[in-house]
Amino acid sequence: MQNKLKTVVTVITDSNFVLPVYVLVLSLKYFEPTQRIHILGISLSDKEKSFFTQFENVFVFDSSIPRSDKPGAMRIIADILKGEALLTAKDCEEPWVALLDGDCIATGNIGPYLAPEVPGLYARSRSAEEDNRIFRYYRDTGETKRGIPEKFLARWKEDVGQNSTAARITTVLSGNLILHRSYLDFARVWQSFMGKVLNFSDPSKTDAAYYMPAEFALNAWLMFADNPPPVREVQLNSNPAAYLAHLGPAPKYWRLWTKKNLPYFDKVMHLLDWAKKQGYARPLLPYALKKRNKPVIIATAFVYGIFNALRRKIKQIHKKIAGNSPERQARRYGQQRV
């Protein structure tokens, strides 16, 4: 008799991410056919929903916020909905709920790592070096080049309004996290707090302290709230034979493969071939997801690598000359389209 699975997997998508989320669902179903998956869809059509609901135990929920074409809005909307996605599992029996990024694939059966033994919030913690890097352009003149900038901590502390001392010294990522049911109310708290500090109606009004919207809102609460859930290290990448591979964020692999992601090309092709053999309907496949184009795709990935290295050099020189204020960085990040 097969053991009952312990985790509901949740994913958020709009029309632009239907294809990668479909591939993620394929990867989960290939290794564990009974896996329960909840898709929180942002303004999906019936046709788009059907690509998911054709699978056993996959359910699509309509998001409370519709899609917006306003520049920067979808970045914030998709983030605000993370709490809502977790809460789609509130009436399920499974003790765990996971929120996975749509541009990932499972390389094996990750079920054991989706259901840890000890209750809590499981997320990947950044190292001090990683935090130093992501905040390097946000420090005031004369401020130490280590840790989270003081103005970020001050804003987070003010917005949370509970504790005066940060409970953590490094940040955690808000994607690919796992939450035990006993802490599911935290999803409501997180969503409510994001509704307070993030503005998708006018993204320019969102403070630079939340230029990574869901992530920094999550960290603000974990650092300064009275009773946040205990944070433990997620183990989704602990087994080289079965892990969650993140193929994002940019460029989108279904449009352009990079040298970093090329090792997963054959895995994705295998999943798409498997879906066809099983009789599952597939979304229209673009050039980058057609096996016959592999030689050109490989060549393009290497050319892109050279181009991207040159572009990074130019950007670094420009930042040294022109500077890179928090407001400019936040505006550039916010204008990225989902």
pLDDT digit string, tens, across residues 262-285: 999 999 999 999 999 999 999 999
CB 338 within 8 A of CB 16: yes
Choose among 98, 88, 111, 115: nearest CA to 9. 98
Give the domain range for residue 275: 7-334
Residue 325: the pLDDT is 58
Residue 115: the pLDDT is 97
- On whether residue 291 sits in a domain, the answer given is yes
CATH of the domain at 206: 3.90.550
pLDDT over threshold 70, residue 194: yes
- On whether residue 1 sits in a domain, the answer given is no
What confidence tier does 336 reach under pLDDT thresholds 50, 70, 90?
Answer: very low
Q: What is the pLDDT of residues 62-117, one digit of tens each?
A: 999 999 999 989 999 999 999 999 999 999 999 999 999 999 999 999 999 999 99
Average pLDDT over residues 211-235: 96
Residue 142: the pLDDT is 82
The 10 Å CB-count burial string (b at 16+, else e) for 300-326 is bbeebeeeeeeeeeeeeeeeeeeeeeb
- On whether residue 2 sits in a domain, the answer given is no
Choose among 219, 217, 194, 8: nearest CA to 100. 8
Residue 310: the pLDDT is 86
Number of domains forming the structure of the chain: 1
Q: What is the pLDDT of residues 146-173, one digit of tens each?
A: 899 999 999 999 999 999 999 999 999 9
pLDDT over threshold 70, residue 43: yes
Angstrom distance (rounded) from CA 315 to CA 222:
33
In terms of average pLDDT, the best of 299-303, 315-319, 332-336 is: 299-303
